[in-house]
A and B are shown apart, each in its own frame.
Chain A
Amino acid sequence: MPSLTIDGKAVDVPVGTTIINAAEKIGIEIPRYCYHKHLSVAGNCRMCLVEVEKFPKLQTACSTVVTDGMVVRTDTEKVRKAVTGVLEFLLINHPIDCPICDQAGECELQNYYMKFGLHKSRFALEDKVRKKKVQDIGGQIVLDAERCILCSRCVRFLEEVTGTRELQFFRRGDHSEISVFPGRPLNNNYTGNLADICPVGALTSKDFRFKCRVWFLKAFPSVCTGCARGCNVEAFFKGDILYRYKPRVNEAVNRAWMCDFGRLEYKKANNARLLVPFVREDGREKMMSWGGLLPQVAYRLKDAVEREGPDAAAVIASPQSSNEELYLVRRIASDLLGTKNLAFTSRVPGDGFSDGFLIRGDKNPNSRGAQLLRIPGGPAFDELVVKIAAGKVRALLLFGDVLGDLTQEETAGLLSMVPFVAQAGTNEGPVSAVATAVLPIASVAERGGTFTNHAGRVQRFHAGFPPRGKAKDTIGFLTSLANRLGAGWAFDGEASVFRALAATEGPFAGMSYESIGSLGQEAKG
């Protein structure tokens, strides 16, 4: 293991480590634009120049591999002048249109200017090279060529990660710019990442453009619910509105990326939400209070069991629910109602597109969790549908906003066979259009818990803000319902449920929120 000193601080690092990473290890941040941990080293921005003893010239910290006994300095006058010089060069042809730039507030040109620059401009304004602004280059991205500092991160991303190579450099010298080839816009499912990796405001997100200044946003760690990959995300919100997802680095799951579909998943927490409990009587919706509706749901389920036996009640679980929720749902079905009619399906309307990279065919975040918690899936769901269609189910408790891959008409047709359908869902959809009782529950941004991804990795998501409207945290709602069915539960929040679950469910044995941490933990089996 080579040991070296950086600014007088000693550090030991594995063979092959570069100076920039060795410095990071001891808390010294070397400024960089082109360097990105998940891309190849380009060494072209020249921002990370450092002094290395015995080298006459300054060296790029991103590309220089450390050697034993190396003496590195990042704090000398020579380095400072070089870094300030590079920053000045980057800014001369930059439009400095921060007031109308979405990147403002999270822009590395702004950050490093405050840290290393603070120089007065020596450049004649009329000499600025003008380039084309506001170019729709396809995907989720708008390009502003003037703001671009030509760091090549985007070009490398499209070469090394997606392999689609839509962006390239055109022209030379200070007229250099990145662009797509004529008639060949961005054409991959990961374009949103370009806005994330762009250190400046050259590549911005069409979806987020002009929506909110970033300093008004707060963030919390979450997990994308768009498919079974469970990409780790940072969810940004203001008030009770989500504004965007950005990938959160998790080498084992999504590295630093996420797909374009997942990136827009946040909208489900904002739009077409179920916010008030209601019942449907004679085709008319009647708003209810939780206190008024919950006893009805409990009564109708119990009533069906008491009159026609346990199998007159049925529960359809959702792979959109958390492990904690699914555990409680199973216990309600099996222990309290005693019905064998419990099932879930991973099928959803749509094509189930997958790409062998991040996007999984299963569009649910927790199908694996449902399996590990022994909720019957696959044929069990189809059998339950047959039973429902045959009119054998008198009361149905249904989780989620869709019923497998059934169309709106099929859903309506099937559910018309059940005298009482209670839906616990987050969004308006085919089920809420026909359910007898609708129980609005908290979105993924408003509640916490864990999902188990396709590979069996248990990952936590967190509540960023309280449930909107009259929506209710699922665990609270399930506990109240169970207690009305005679359970006597005393769960208080998802953590208490997870403790109970880990104590009895083999695959989760020995796990805790602490051991899962922020990056997840593999379940057994």
Chain B
Amino acid sequence: METVLTTHFADERYRFIDTYRGFGGYEALRKAISMPRDAIVEEVRKANLRGRGGAGFPAGVKWGFLPKDMSRPRVLVVNADEGEPGTFKDRRIMSRAPHLLVEGLAIACYALTIHKAYIYIRGEFVREAGILDEAVSEAYASGFLGKDILGSGFDLDVTVHRGAGAYICGEETSTLNSLEGKRGWPRLKPPFPATIGAFGLPTIVNNVETLSDVPWIITHGGERFAALGCEKNGGTRLVGVSGPVQRPGIYELPADVNLRHVIYDVAGGLRDGKKLKAVIPGGSSTPVLRADEIDVNFDIESMAKLGTMAGTSGVIVIPEGTCMVRALRVLMNFYAHESCGQCTPCREGTGWLRKVVGRIEAGEGRPRDIELILDLCDNMMGRTICALADAAAMPAQSFLWKFREEFDRHIRDRKCPYGNRF
């Protein structure tokens, strides 16, 4: 299979500019600045590139939202605040191929006439931030960033900005607030970032993987990129497989790869002869699938048909022997901890869910707790400024729908059937 991103990941020196250039790095940027700006955007549109941050919004369309009027400077913000549990693909790109990101963002900035880009990187990614810093310095030194890039007269300044440790800051408007030095609260929309974003300026926020795809698209053409994927989503995706499988890790796969194939062939199946119990397909907020539901293509539309999402394609494999109540409690702890506290249904709902699921697992569940959880989810979903309430409610609902008997048993027996072992 042809790969877009991971081709040279095995080469430890690929993160340095010389090696990167040895493999043709920054030629796409050179090509891009010889192209009309619209042609670059058109190429990305033809590539059918959908945002890799989880929502899957078409990148070319998003770029088109910038106001035509050029009176205000524009900003690109790279969302490198990868925090969705089960997701670790952007981290891999930044540690193995930081120049893919730098080149991709430079091309995007050139195409959109943006002279200032921020890479907002998750605070915990200390090592990756160092690597990125170094890559950015190298790119400056080689004339791919800074003033008059490759003699084109185009200037671009890039700042690597580290977050301070909040999941919510990966929500793009929180990212912007945090970047501005404010509390990381999502913003009420409209206005959308394309009109009023970072520092009040028109802003494009793109995911790391999305931008890292751009150099290949420019080199090989949008159509060829599109052909690597499926009808509704061009190119490849970095799929992260975690859990007790033989070969956990990041794999570059076609956007419509079969999910069973991912788990059993690509990742080698479960370890220690364990049987599969459940799969969370696209990062912790996506609804869980039972083991009998995974014979399905992993593209956005097929997942939606199953009532779940491809999300960040962080596949979490859950083996038999795992208590689903306890697994949900872990997730509910996470969302209650990470809710920013701005909107009532999320602030209070995530905390309440954590308490109810917690008491069921502790053997103190009450007869009506399951109805209560489902009703709370209903009162949370779609009722808040950002999607965090949905992100907490979706797993809760799906765990109950698909593993109801485990919850019932906890309540009935007043204890966890799996004991204290995780």
- Verify if B336 is at the interface (C-beta below 8 Å from A): yes
Hey, which chain A residues are within 8 Å of B351, CB to CB? Answer: 93, 129, 173-174
User: Would you call A176 and B344 a contact (CB within 8 A)?
Assistant: no
Q: Are B341 and A174 in contact (CB under 8 A)?
A: yes
Task: Determine which residue in A49, A127, A169, A172 has the highest number of CB atoms from chain B within 10 A of its CB, and name it.
Answer: A172
The reply to whether B383 and A173 contact each other, CB–CB distance below 8 Å, is no
Contact call B379/A93, Cβ cutoff below 8 A: no
Nearest Cβ on chain A to B411's Cβ, whole angstroms: 14
Chain A-chain B contacts (Cβ-Cβ < 8 Å), number: 95
Distance, CA A93 to CA B344, complexed state (A): 11
Q: Give the distance to chain B from A120, nearest Cβ to Cβ, in Å.
A: 12
Please choose the segment from A39-47, A138-146, A355-363, A502-510 that sits at the chain B interface, where 4 or more of its residues have CB less than 8 A away. A39-47
Interchain CB contact under 8 A, B344 and A44: yes
Q: Is B183 an interface residue (CB 8 A)?
A: yes
- Chain B 347-390 interface residues, beta-carbon cutoff 8 Å to A: 347-352, 355, 359, 368, 372, 378-379, 382-385
Please report the total number of B residues contacting A with Cβ < 8 Å.
30
CA of A204 to CA of B344 in the docked complex: distance in angstroms?
22
- Mark B62-102 against chain A: 1 for CB-CB distance below 8 A, else 0: 00000000000000000000000000000000000000000
Q: Which of A80-88, A251-259, A430-438, A490-498 contacts B (4 or more CB under 8 A)?
A: A80-88
Which A residues are in CB contact (< 8 Å) with B355? 124, 127
Whether B245 is near chain A, meaning CB under 8 Å from some CB there, is: no
Q: Are A89 and B379 in contact (CB under 8 A)?
A: yes
Determine if B344 and A149 form an interchain contact, defined as CB atoms under 8 angstroms apart: yes
A122 within 8 A of B: yes
The answer to whether A42 touches B188 (Cβ under 8 A) is yes
Q: Mark A116-144, 1 if CB is under 8 A from B, else 0.
A: 00000011100101000000000000000
B348 and A172: CB pair below 8 A?
A: no
Asked if A21 is at the interface of the complex by the 8 Å CB criterion, the answer is: no
User: Is B157 on the interface with A (CB-CB < 8 A)?
Assistant: no
In the complex, B345 has a CB within 8 A of chain A: yes
- B344 to A123, Cβ gap below 8 A? no
Q: Indicate if A301 sits at the interface (CB-CB under 8 A).
A: no
A43 to B384 CA separation, bound complex (whole angstroms):
9
Can you name the residue of chain A whose Cβ is closest to the Cβ of B379?
Answer: A85
**Quick one: closest A residue to B359, CB to CB?**
A124
* Complex CA distance for A82 and B348, rounded to whole angstroms: 14
Q: Inside 8 A of A458's CB, which chain B residues have their CB?
A: none
Contacts known (A169-B183, A174-B336, A174-B350); A45 close to B188, Cβ less than 8 A: no
A376 to B191, CA, bound (A): 57
A245 to B: closest C-beta gap in Å: 32
The answer, among A47, A56, A93, A124, for a CB contact under 8 Å with B348, is A93
Cβ–Cβ < 8 Å partners of B347 in chain A? 89, 150, 173-174, 176
A172 touches B383 (CB 8 A): no
B contact residues around A88 at 8 Å (CB): 379
With A169-B183, A172-B337, A176-B341 as contacts: A43 and B348 at CB distance below 8 Å: no
Residue of B nearest to A129 (CB): B351
| A129 cross-chain contacts in B, Cβ below 8 A | 351
CA–CA, A149 and B359, complex, Å = 25
CB neighbours of A86 from chain B (8 A): 344-345, 379, 383
Residues A92 and B352 in contact, CB atoms below 8 Å apart = yes
CA distance A45 to B339 in the complex (A): 14
A85 to B339, CA, bound (A): 18
* Most chain B Cβ neighbours within 10 Å, of A47, A89, A92, A175: A89
Contact of A37 with B by CB under 8 A: no
Residue-wise interface mask of A (11-50) relative to B, using a CB-CB cutoff of 8 A (1 in contact, 0 not):
0000000000000000000000000000001111111010
Q: Are A172 and B372 in contact (CB under 8 A)?
A: no
Asked if residues B338 and A46 are in contact (CB atoms below 8 Å), the reply is: no
B341-A171 in contact (CB<8A): yes
A307 within 8 A of B: no
Shortest beta-carbon distance from A142 to chain B in Å? 22
Is B338 within 8 A of A123, CB to CB?
Answer: no
Which B residue's beta carbon lies closest to that of A176?
B341
Indicate whether A63 reaches chain B with its CB closer than 8 angstroms: yes
Q: How far is the CA of A93 from the CA of B355 in the complex (A)?
A: 12
Find residues 81-109 in chain A having any chain B CB closer than 8 Å to their own CB: 81-82, 85-86, 88-90, 92-93
A414 within 8 A of B: no
- A82 in contact with B341 (CB, 8 Å): no
Please report the C-alpha to C-alpha distance between residue A514 and residue B383 in the assembled complex, in whole angstroms.
47
Complex CA distance for A175 and B340, rounded to whole angstroms: 10
Q: With a CB–CB cut-off of 8 A, which chain A residues contact B383?
A: 46, 49, 58, 82, 85-86
**Is A284 in contact with chain B by the CB < 8 A criterion?**
no
- A46–B343 CB distance below 8 A: yes
State the CA gap A43–B383 with chains docked (Å): 11
Chain A 284-295, CB within 8 Å of chain B: the 1/0 string? 000000000000
A53 to chain B, nearest CB (A): 16
- Cβ contact of B341, chosen from A43, A49, A123, A169, cutoff 8 A: A169
**In the complex, what distance in Å separates the CA atom of A441 from the CA atom of B90?**
79
Q: Does A168 contact B (CB under 8 A)?
A: yes
Contact indicator B344/A82 (Cβ below 8 Å): no
Q: Which residue of B lies closest to A126 (CB)?
A: B355
Residues in A whose Cβ lies below 8 Å from that of B345: 46, 85-86, 89
Which residues of the partner chain B approach A175 to less than 8 Å between Cβ atoms? 341
Which residues of the other chain, A, contact B343 by a CB distance below 8 angstroms?
Answer: 44-46
Q: Decide yes or no whether A57 CB sits under 8 A from chain B.
A: yes
Q: Give min CB distance, B333 to chain A, whole Å.
A: 11
Bound-state Cα–Cα, A276 to B336, Å:
65
Inter-chain contact A89/B348, CB cutoff 8 Å: yes
- Using Cβ atoms and an 8 Å threshold, which residues of chain B touch A122? 368, 372
Q: Is B166 an interface residue (CB 8 A)?
A: yes
How would residues 451 to 477 of chain A score, 1 for a CB under 8 Å from any chain B CB and 0 otherwise? 000000000000000000000000000
In-complex Cβ contact of A90 among B166, B342, B344 (8 A): B344
> Assuming the A-B contacts A89-B348, A171-B341, A172-B340, are A58 and B382 also in contact, with contact meaning beta carbons closer than 8 angstroms in the complex?
yes
Chain A residues near B168: list those with CB within 8 A. 172
Q: Using an 8 Å CB-CB cutoff, how does the interface string of A208-233 with B read, 1 for contact, 0 for none?
A: 00000000000000000000000000
6 A-B pairs in the complex with CB atoms less than 8 angstroms apart? A82-B383, A86-B344, A92-B348, A124-B359, A171-B341, A173-B341
What residues make up the interface of A, taking CB atoms closer than 8 Å to B? 41-47, 49, 56-58, 60, 63, 81-82, 85-86, 88-90, 92-93, 122-124, 127, 129, 149-150, 168-169, 171-176
Q: Knowing that A57-B382, A58-B383 touch, tell me 10 more A-B residue pairs with CB under 8 angstroms.
A: A46-B345, A81-B379, A85-B379, A89-B348, A90-B344, A124-B359, A149-B344, A150-B341, A172-B340, A173-B338
The 6 closest A-B pairs by CB, nearest first: A176-B341, A85-B379, A174-B351, A89-B348, A173-B339, A43-B188
